[in-house]
A and B are shown apart, each in its own frame.
Chain A
Amino acid sequence: MTVLRCRGLSRSFGALRAVADVDLDVAPGARYGLIGPNGAGKSTLFKLVTGVLRAHAGTVELDGRDVTRLSEVRRSRLGMAQTLQHASLFGSMTAAQTVALAVQRHGVDAADRRRISPLPRRQADVWERAERLLADIGLAGRGRVAVPSLSHGERKQLEVALALACRPRLLLLDEPAAGMSAAERARLVELLRGLPREVTVLFVEHDLDLVFELADAITVLHLGRVLLSGSPAEVRTSERVREAYLGTRRRAELFTAPGGPDVPAGA
């Protein structure tokens, strides 16, 4: 049974069909990459899956359950966690406080999550779990640092810690490597590789090297539609994918920063 199953997802903005008739099947434990040239609709598709945007057509199923009509709040409760592209966090909190918010919501462990009680959880347990998550992520000892004082890479790590604190079945990462230095990128890859297989990962990325390093399945989007879904090898050798990226990929190689300058698809 798939963890995530999308059928016929569509969403338009006025006359623009941002996502059209997209199917997606993500197997349990997969490291699933979502790529495509700029303007392909990756961002929109991401938001349709998480529930921030409502689909105009199609269905989204999480663990076989239809969540198409559910808000992102409900989907989060059902096991979907996400990081946001711009490392958007809480300006007045420390790293530990940030993670504690999610632990408070989703429980210290699986049993705790099922507990039905209006009373807040045991604070000592909450903090302990928060610190442990931070340590796992590589932010040990940074718990008491205020978020604005963290480096960009650290904030990205915090985003992942926050998502993991939600005890997700499905972890959705939106351009996790954006703006990272080489060292930070390497740490990120290590981190993602180290995630337990109970957590399925779907990530949108521009950095194709990262994608080919991590993913065991890939969907390529182009102009809102699925161009190709398959293994990394299939995607790599596909003529159609190369055409879609033609010019874009070359230029991406010329520039060092991942996710190079905007080039219209098919340029």
Chain B
Amino acid sequence: MTAVDSAATVDGTAPVPARRLRRFGPLIAAAALLVLAAVPLFLAPFATTTLSRILVFALFAVSLDLLVGITGLPSLGHAAYFGVGAYAAGLVSIHVTAQVPGPLLVGAGAGALAAGLTGWITVRSHGVFFLMLTLAIGETIEQLANTWESVTGGANGLTGIRSARFAGTPLVVAGYTYWYVLAVFALGFAIIWLVARSPFGAALRGIRDNEPRMRAVGYPTALYKYAAFVLAGGVAGMAGAALVAQQRLVTPADLGFLTAAFALLAVVIGGAGTLWGAGIGAALVIVVRDALGPSMGGHGTLLLGLVFVLVVYLLPRGAAGLRLPLGLPRVRSAVFKAPRGGPR
């Protein structure tokens, strides 16, 4: 137990190693944003595009961290809402308007709606059972994307998506697209961060740490979990909208098992619950897959899988940062009722 031993902050966010660092938080964030914004002015278009892709994936991973790290719900099907948002935004761009913020709002709404429609069967579960259910849901939606050719374009995906339009002008230049993606990232991150800091976020953390206790205190935990699920789905949808603005293409793979697994990997590597860690993890995943991958014959996944195995073994707090309940023995997982802890 490392991070919790030192005096944790009182404002309800995840504990950090040093309290002093906390005070500079907003400053660091502003500086980081500035640096990121300046990137297209200094780097080549290829780097800018890669960074765009990183930001999209990072937002997606951060939305997953709300579920995994903050609420303690390990989802392996989150890519479904990312993809639904992407498809929805893409369809709107093609058939209605590509004007900002239209596709973005639709993407967010579609992600939240899909999460709302499918999340209700998962919220009475937790742990490994939850993992299984979300995996099943994610794959089902991927299959839907594959088969519903008339709408989604089937296995080839949705092509010909127009680039986002800002006040009438299309954002075709890599730099402008990048700034749009950065804006979406900043917005989405801010939303998640504010929620995590709020009393609602504190309740989610309580649910993560000890759900039965929260129920004893009077919190309707299933409802809270559902709300977190829908919110995370909405932000994932936002990331999906950013994906199609940048990539102008979405395929079923984007909502598939691999995407979901990589996002989980990003969260785990970065340290579940810290939010910004998910962003760092996402950067790592994209860099390995897109930059190192080609030099490995396109098998970046292999390296990532190995990293995953190592990370699970080496992380002291457990892969998803889930701390075991105090003093209680390992709780039995995988059933819908509250976990039972017995006397040692």
Contacts and interface: CB of A to CB of B under 8 A. Distances in A.
Q: Do chains A and B touch in the complex (CB under 8 A)?
A: yes
Interface of A: 50, 52, 71-73, 76-77, 81-82, 84, 86-94, 96-97, 100-102, 104-106, 120-121, 123, 126-127, 143-149, 155, 162, 166
In terms of DSSP, what is the predominant structure of the interface of chain B?
A: loop
Contacts of A73: 215, 218-221
A102 B203 CA distance: 9
A144 B341 CA distance: 27
A76 B8 contact: no
B12 A97 contact: yes
Given A89-B210, A91-B324, A97-B10, A72 B5 contact: no
Interface in B310-334: 323-328
B328 A88 contact: yes
B218 A106 contact: yes
Given A100-B202, A144-B10, A146-B5, A89 B323 contact: no
B210 A86 contact: no
A90 B218 contact: no
A19 B10 CA distance: 43
B330 to A, nearest CB: 13
B218 A148 contact: no
B88 to A, nearest CB: 28
A94 B212 CA distance: 18
A87 B341 CA distance: 12
27 contacts: A72-B216, A82-B216, A84-B212, A84-B213, A86-B328, A86-B341, A88-B210, A88-B341, A89-B326, A90-B206, A90-B210, A91-B4, A91-B323, A92-B4, A92-B14, A92-B273, A93-B206, A93-B209, A101-B203, A101-B217, A101-B219, A102-B217, A104-B199, A106-B218, A143-B10, A146-B15, A166-B217
Given A72-B216, A146-B7, A93 B326 contact: no
Given A144-B7, A145-B7, A84 B15 contact: no
B206 A101 contact: yes
Contacts, number: 119
Contacts of B212: 52, 84, 88
Contact of B327 (A87, A93, A126): A87
A89 B216 CA distance: 11
B156 interface: no
B218 A93 contact: no
Interface of B: 1, 4-8, 10, 12, 14-15, 198-200, 202-203, 205-206, 208-210, 212-221, 273, 323-328, 338, 341, 343
B327 A86 contact: yes
Nearest to A150: B326
A71 B213 CA distance: 13
Nearest to B202: A101
A96 B7 CA distance: 12
B217 A76 contact: yes
Contacts of B208: 92
Given A93-B205, A120-B200, 12 more contacts: A52-B212, A73-B215, A76-B216, A81-B217, A88-B326, A90-B205, A91-B209, A92-B323, A94-B7, A96-B10, A100-B202, A144-B7
A126 B214 CA distance: 17
Nearest to A179: B327
Nearest to A106: B218
Contacts of B215: 71-73, 76
A106 B217 CA distance: 9
B341 A104 contact: no
A149 B1 CA distance: 10
A145 B15 CA distance: 12
Contact of B5 (A88, A121, A123, A148): A148
A101 to B, nearest CB: 5
A147 B326 contact: yes
A127 B10 contact: yes
A245 to B, nearest CB: 21
A91 B10 contact: no
Centre residue among A81, A149, A162, A166 by max chain B CB count within 10 A:
A149
Given A106-B218, A148-B1, A88 B8 contact: no
Contacts of A81: 216-217
A236 B5 CA distance: 46
A149 B5 CA distance: 7
Contacts of A82: 216
B218 A76 contact: yes
Contacts of B4: 91-92, 146, 148-149
B160 to A, nearest CB: 43
A144 B10 CA distance: 7
Contacts of B325: 88, 91
B72 to A, nearest CB: 10
Nearest to B221: A73
